[in-house]
Structure 1
């Protein structure tokens, strides 16, 4: 895979307390940088902070094999979320309003890689301060800009 990539990320959160509430999918497509080092894939990109012209959140996606995905965020929010097949991980999610303890219980993870493309599908349960919060899913498409095969996740 080339250094310059496009990342398409879509996510869906279903509130566990009110599953009938309308779900709003989150979708973003951003240019990113990719590199491979010590057997791990890294993708780095910035996302703007809603309501701000200058602030950004720096994101790093780290893929280790087919069983481990890490998403680190720094800036207006700070977090290091770890997704491991059939395992629950705890992390602190820092916001301008304070910290929350997040539990990320990964129930499904599929990572498919080719020379110019990485597809990731993760389903997980999210709890905040040990209270069940949401059933979630993330879909990512990471594609070399030069491949000509970019599509939405």
Structure 2
């Protein structure tokens, strides 16, 4: 896969009151190093007039998503383990628990398709069962790639 990629992420934001699917499509950079996939991309945060820098690290049965900027969080998705972290927002901190039930990752020469299913707790209260879908595709073939 090339360094310049298009990243499509669906279902990542924590919108407790909203049932509408959330999808972000943005340009990013892809790297493969030490048997790990890395994806870097920026996200414009409308409500805060800021930018969040994001990094996704994919290894065997483990996915990490790090957000820094107007909000900060280090989410760890690992099947069979519940991971706790603080989600730091301009409005205060939330303790979130991530109980991952399934991770699937399909790789091809020009794309990666990642799906994560997990339970989400906020301040030790179960909020919902969630899913994240991430598609990473080379910019030059992004419109042609289907998995």
Report the equivalent of 1:4: 4
Q: 1:59 aligns with which of 20, 42, 54?
A: 54
Distance (Å, rounded) in 2 between the aligned partners of 1:38 and 1:127: 32
Q: 1:46 aligns with which of 34, 37, 42?
A: 42
RMSD: 2.0
Gaps of 5+ in 2: none
Number of aligned residue pairs: 145
* Alpha carbons of structure 1 residues 14 and 48: separation in structure 2 relative to 1, 3 Å: closer
Report the equivalent of 2:114: 120
Distance (Å, rounded) in 1 between the aligned partners of 2:136 and 2:117: 18
Distance (Å, rounded) in 1 between the aligned partners of 2:144 and 2:74: 30
User: Which fold has the larger relative contact order, with Cα–Cα distance below 8 Å and residues 6 or more apart in sequence?
Assistant: 1
* Alpha carbons of structure 1 residues 37 and 14: separation in structure 2 relative to 1, 3 Å: same
Q: Name the TM-score, length of structure 2 as normaliser.
A: 0.91
Gaps of 5+ in 1: 16-20
Secondary structure, in 3 states, of the residue corresponding to 2:56?
strand
Distance (Å, rounded) in 1 between the aligned partners of 2:88 and 2:47: 18
Secondary structure, in 3 states, of the residue corresponding to 2:11?
strand
